[in-house]
């Protein structure tokens, strides 16, 4: 069985920890690889490589760092398809979706190519007589990233592009379920001129994550994953005095007002609910049908569902692939049962889809209507192709529902009324809002992050907030006086 290992100090390193895990092709259900699980000592080896590389990388000029980032961008661009194919092979998402993931990740590398501009400080000449004040942002040192299974290429790019552009050195711990895209990216970065030790990958599980959190050399941690793990990582890293941003789970609502273009709304609900088999943190999982729109909207969604082509992601005809593991598929399916038991109407049951008889981890698309906030299928993050419809009478009820929800990652409104949309963006408690856009993932020059239990920490990821997260500010107050003006003054410094 082919093994997937670490990338430390510029080369691939096999683990001697003796601990490993299986990697599957979810479309066939067959194990294709074994992935090494790093021991704490192996994690420390990666951290040490990053620590040793830091002083030189930090001192590398901005123009040279930008030049290397342009080469990184070119190398990743030239291998888009390979990165996407590895993603499809281990995650299961269809190839076109994986290509989209790589493209969205590359936006962050493109943003980071502008690092000389992004790190510009400010300068106040003559802040006091003969005194100038200026600010700068400097890197933190060794920083770590821990990424989830659902975006094995894009989320690492969210993190490492800005982190290394700012002059930090990086240790990535990808998901053990689809570890290969990170390893390929590490090799490409190295070929593009990123010095040894600046970007390292350690494969593994909780043991590796705990070792990163315990290492005094790691100054900041970026995490993306489920809410319980995000909360615990945030607490542990905080206690250890590290800077931490932990992006977590979601339950994204899409409000459809009675004046919305129904076909557009139904297309959006199907695309955003079932794309990537619902395994996106920005997937729409709840459609909130306001007033009279309910029956027509449910019928329009239902009409579209049989047309979703489910299959192996390598088949260009497939639009939706399998789920990540058989356990996850069964967990997702259990919400159809619990929804039914708790009073929801099962309009379409994905378990009855013939695709479920294939050997991979497939589940058909499901639609639950008349879902209420007490039901498990509403309360939990399902993270699968199960769309719930909650019916409410008014706009106010719709906003109340969203604002009461414990998560606040993304949300969307479908309407033709600009005033209603504007009011929604003002009222709604979520970090990312779409207006007639179901998956409002911000472009790379804005920042990504949710509210409430969708993000632990203060800083959103990538874009300008990413630059802030990966740097600390310094302000210099400077005097180059004419020696003739110097005198002793014991008073507290004040401007003159
Ligand atoms: P996960 O929390 O199981 O794993 C995420 C990472 O943490 C992986 O690298 C994993 O190895 C590690 N990990 C798992 N358990 C751990 C533990 N007990 N201690 C330390 N580390 C641990 O998440 P997942 O299943 O890979 O990803 C899906 C989840 O991620 C969903 O909840 C989804 O909403 C969320 N997600 C959020 C965003 C966002 O931006 N808010 C983006 C993508 C995914």
Q: Domains of the chain: which residue ranges?
A: 2-248+454-476, 252-435
Cβ of 285 below 6 Å from ligand 1: no
CA of 23 to the centre of ligand 1 (A): 16
Cite the active site residues.
281
pLDDT for res 482 = 79
Query: Nearest residue CA, atom 31 of ligand 1?
Result: 226
Per-residue pLDDT of 72-103, as tens digits, reads 999 999 999 999 999 999 999 999 999 999 99
pLDDT for res 114 = 98
Cβ of 154 below 6 Å from ligand 1: no
Cβ of 224 below 6 Å from ligand 1: yes
Cβ of 225 below 6 Å from ligand 1: yes
CA of 227 to the centre of ligand 1 (A): 8
Per-residue pLDDT of 224-244, as tens digits, reads 999 999 999 999 999 999 999
Query: Nearest residue CA, atom 13 of ligand 1?
Result: 206
When pLDDT is cut at 50, 70 and 90, the band that residue 459 belongs to is very high
Cβ of 322 below 6 Å from ligand 1: no
CA of 176 to the centre of ligand 1 (A): 10
pLDDT for res 483 = 78
pLDDT for res 92 = 98
Q: Is the pLDDT of residue 481 over 90?
A: no
When pLDDT is cut at 50, 70 and 90, the band that residue 493 belongs to is confident
| Portion of the chain with pLDDT greater than 70, in percent | 100
Pick the CATH number of 252-435 from 3.40.50.300, 2.120.10.30, 3.40.50.1220, 3.40.309.10: 3.40.309.10
Cβ of 187 below 6 Å from ligand 1: no
Task: Using the atom order of ligand 1, give the atom closest to the CA of residue 173.
Answer: 9
Cβ of 274 below 6 Å from ligand 1: no
Query: Nearest residue CA, atom 36 of ligand 1?
Result: 225
Once rounded to an integer, what is the mean pLDDT over residues 269-291?
A: 98
**3-state DSSP of the chain:** CEEECEEECCEEECCCCCCEEEEEECCCCEEEEEEECCCHHHHHHHHHHHHHHHHHHHHCCHHHHHHHHHHHHHHHHHCHHHHHHHHHHHHCCCHHHHHHHHHHHHHHHHHHCCHHHHCCCCEEEEEECCEEEEEEEEECCEEEEECCCCCCCHHHHHHHHHHHHCCCEEEEECCCCCCHHHHHHHHHHHHCCCCCCCEEECCCCHHHHHHHHHCCCEEEEEEECCHHHHHHHHHHHHHCCCEEEEECCCCEEEEECCCCCHHHHHHHHHHHHHHHHHCCCCCEEEEEEEHHHHHHHHHHHHHHHHHCCECCCCCCCCCECCCCCHHHHHHHHHHHHHHHHCCCEEEECHHHCHHHHCCCCCCCCEEEECCCCCCHHHHCCCCCCEEEEEEECCHHHHHHHHHHCCEECEEEEECCCHHHHHHHHHHCCCCEEEECCCCCCCCCCCCECCEECCEECCCCECHHHHHHHCEEEEEEEEECCCHHHCCCCCCCCCCC
CA of 229 to the centre of ligand 1 (A): 7
CA of 4 to the centre of ligand 1 (A): 20
When pLDDT is cut at 50, 70 and 90, the band that residue 426 belongs to is very high
Cβ of 176 below 6 Å from ligand 1: yes
Q: Is the pLDDT of residue 338 over 90?
A: yes
Q: Do the first three CATH levels of 2-248+454-476 and 252-435 match, i.e. the same topology?
A: no
Cβ of 226 below 6 Å from ligand 1: yes
Q: Is the pLDDT of residue 485 over 90?
A: no
Query: Nearest residue CA, atom 40 of ligand 1?
Result: 247
Query: Nearest residue CA, atom 43 of ligand 1?
Result: 281
| CATH (residue range 2-248+454-476) | 3.40.605.10
Per-residue pLDDT of 141-169, as tens digits, reads 999 999 999 999 999 999 999 999 999 99
pLDDT for res 496 = 74
Q: Is the pLDDT of residue 10 over 90?
A: yes
Once rounded to an integer, what is the mean pLDDT over residues 332-361?
A: 98
Q: Is the pLDDT of residue 439 over 90?
A: yes
Q: Is the pLDDT of residue 344 over 80?
A: yes
Average pLDDT of every residue of the chain: 97
CA of 249 to the centre of ligand 1 (A): 8
Once rounded to an integer, what is the mean pLDDT over residues 376-382?
A: 98
């Amino acid at each position: 069985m082919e093994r997937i290992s670490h990338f430390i100090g510029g080369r691939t390193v096999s683990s001697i920890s003796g601990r490993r895990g299986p990697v599957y092709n979810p479309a066939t259900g067959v194990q294709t690889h074994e992935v090494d699980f790093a021991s704490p000592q192996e994690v420390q080896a990666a951290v040490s490589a990053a620590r040793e590389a830091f002083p030189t990388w930090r001192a590398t000029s901005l123009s040279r760092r930008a030049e290397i980032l342009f080469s990184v961008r070119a190398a990743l661009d030239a291998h888009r398809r390979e990165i996407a194919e590895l993603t499809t092979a281990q995650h299961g998402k269809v190839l076109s979706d994986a290509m989209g993931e790589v493209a969205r990740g590359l936006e962050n590398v493109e943003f980071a190519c502008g690092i000389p501009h992004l790190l510009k400080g400010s300068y106040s000449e003559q802040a006091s007589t003969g005194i100038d004040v200026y600010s700068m942002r400097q890197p933190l040192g060794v920083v770590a990233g821990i990424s989830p299974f659902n975006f094995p290429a894009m989320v690492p790019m969210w993190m490492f592009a800005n982190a290394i552009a700012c002059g930090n050195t990086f240790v990535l711990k990808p998901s053990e379920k689809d570890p290969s895209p990170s390893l390929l990216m590490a090799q490409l970065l190295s070929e593009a001129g990123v010095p040894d030790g600046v970007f390292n990958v350690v494969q593994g599980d909780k043991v590796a994550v705990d070792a990163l959190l315990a290492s005094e050399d790691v100054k900041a941690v970026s995490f993306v994953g489920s809410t319980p793990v995000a909360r615990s990582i945030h607490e542990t890293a905080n206690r250890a005095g590290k800077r931490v941003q932990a992006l977590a789970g979601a339950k994204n609502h899409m409000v459809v007002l009675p004046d919305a273009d129904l076909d557009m709304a139904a297309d959006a609900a199907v695309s955003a609910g079932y794309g990537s088999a619902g395994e996106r943190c920005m997937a729409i999982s709840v459609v909130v049908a306001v007033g009279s729109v309910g029956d027509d909207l449910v019928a329009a969604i239902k009409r579209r569902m049989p047309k979703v082509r489910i299959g192996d992601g390598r088949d260009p005809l497939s639009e939706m692939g399998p789920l990540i593991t058989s356990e996850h598929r069964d967990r997702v399916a259990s919400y159809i049962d619990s929804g039914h038991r708790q009073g929801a109407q099962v309009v379409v049951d994905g378990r009855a889809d013939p695709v479920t008889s294939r050997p991979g981890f497939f589940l058909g698309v499901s639609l639950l209507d008349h879902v209420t906030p007490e039901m498990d299928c509403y309360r939990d993050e399902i993270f699968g192709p199960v769309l719930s419809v909650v019916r409410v009478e008014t706009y106010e009820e719709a906003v109340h529902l969203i604002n009461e929800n414990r998560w606040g990652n993304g949300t969307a409104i479908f309407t033709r009324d600009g005033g209603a949309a504007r009011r929604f963006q003002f009222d709604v408690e979520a970090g990312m809002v779409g207006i007639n856009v179901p998956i409002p993932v911000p472009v790379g020059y804005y920042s990504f992050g949710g509210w409430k239990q969708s993000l632990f920490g203060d800083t959103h990821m990538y874009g300008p907030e990413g630059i802030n997260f990966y740097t600390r500010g310094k302000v210099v107050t400077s005097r180059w006086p004419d020696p003739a003006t110097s005198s002793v003054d014991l008073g507290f410094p004040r401007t003159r």
